[in-house]
Amino acid sequence: MELEALQTALPDIQRLGASLVAISPQLEKYGHSVHRRLNLGFDILTDRGLQVGAQFGLVFVLPDYLKTVYLQFGNKLDEFHGENAFRLPMPARYIVDQQSVIRSANVSPDYTMRPEPSETVATLEELTNGRG
Amino acid sequence: MTLEQKMDDFKAQFESGGPPYNAPKAVIEVFHRATEDLCQSGLAERALKTGERAPAFTLNNQDGNSISSAELLAKGPLVITFFRGHW
């Protein structure tokens, strides 16, 4: 859902001279099928071992009670990730400027919440106009 | 429709326990508990914030090509979205 919404905002993001990437721990072949199915104009990157997610401080280990439910429903996170640690990143959206400084950070411990892509575009606009 | 509205609709549909997800009440409660635990853990407050330095990365894209944040940042600002996966 979020990826589709970001795809809609992609022309605005590019118009402002910015790039967009989506990062998840799922292996390349799963990223490939999502990319094709949703016809995305931006890359889906594979964060093997959740190393980048961990550097951003986003990674958590699924509690056993949740892992049990995932497994019951045939959600094979171990296959998707190529590891059996059952870890996930919290959903998050960052805007990074050309000096590698984070200019906007939005982390969602509640996975049903996301910032609007239009907010991201508005922040980028401020940034590129030198008002950020 | 905004992303928030779409996600709210999905959540309402899922939590109704009806089709297409037919989620049992016990499962919905587990998800609620997990979200509550994660919120209370304070992990989100410890994640990288505005004003901090973003780590550089080089990762494979969906076609197996290597993509580096440094190359993207040479062209302009970078929006990074972390997602759990499309299962």
Owning domain of residue B12:
3-75
CB–CB of A30/A80 below 8 Å?
yes
CB atoms within 10 A of CB A92: 24
Interchain proximity A2–B81, CB inside 8 Å: yes
Interface A-B: count of C-beta contacts within 8 A? 233
ipTM computed for the complex: 0.95
Chain B CB contacts of A97 under 8 Å are 77
pLDDT in tens, B39-87: 999 999 999 999 999 999 999 999 999 999 999 999 999 999 999 987 6
Residue B82 inside a domain? The answer is: no
CB–CB of A43/B62 below 8 Å?
yes
Domain ranges of chain A: 2-127
Chain B CB contacts of A86 under 8 Å are none
Distance (Å, whole) CA B32 – CA B44: 17
Residue from A16, A1, A2 nearest A95 by CA: A16
Q: Which residue of B has its CA nearest to A53?
A: B82
CB–CB of B83/A53 below 8 Å?
no
Mean residue pLDDT of chain A comes to 93
pLDDT at A132: 46
Distance (Å, whole) CA B3 – CA B8: 8
Listed range (A34-43, B4-13, B43-52) with the worst mean pLDDT: B4-13
Interchain proximity A89–B83, CB inside 8 Å: yes
Distances (CA, A) of B83 to A113, B24, B32, B87: 12, 25, 19, 11
CB atoms within 10 A of CB B64: 11
Interchain proximity B83–A2, CB inside 8 Å: yes
Residue B64 inside a domain? The answer is: yes
For the domain spanning A2-127, the CATH number is 3.40.30.10
How many domains are there within chain B?
Answer: 1
Q: Is A112 left (phi over 0), alpha (psi -120 to 50) or beta?
A: alpha
CB–CB of A20/A48 below 8 Å?
no
B19 to chain A, any CB pair closer than 8 A? The answer is no
Q: Rounded to a whole number, what is the distance in Å from the CA of B18 to chain A's nearest CA?
A: 16
pTM over cut 0.90: yes
pLDDT in tens, A107-128: 999 988 889 999 999 999 999 8
For chain B, how long is the longest CA-to-CA vector?
49
Within 13 A of A61's CA, how many CA atoms are on the CB side?
Answer: 5
Residue B50 inside a domain? The answer is: yes
- Write the secondary structure of chain B as one string of H (helix), E (strand) and C (coil): CCHHHHHHHHHHHHHCCCCCCCCCHHHHHHHHHHHHHHHHHCHHHHCCCCCCECCCCEEECCCCCEEEHHHHHHHCCEEEEECCCCC
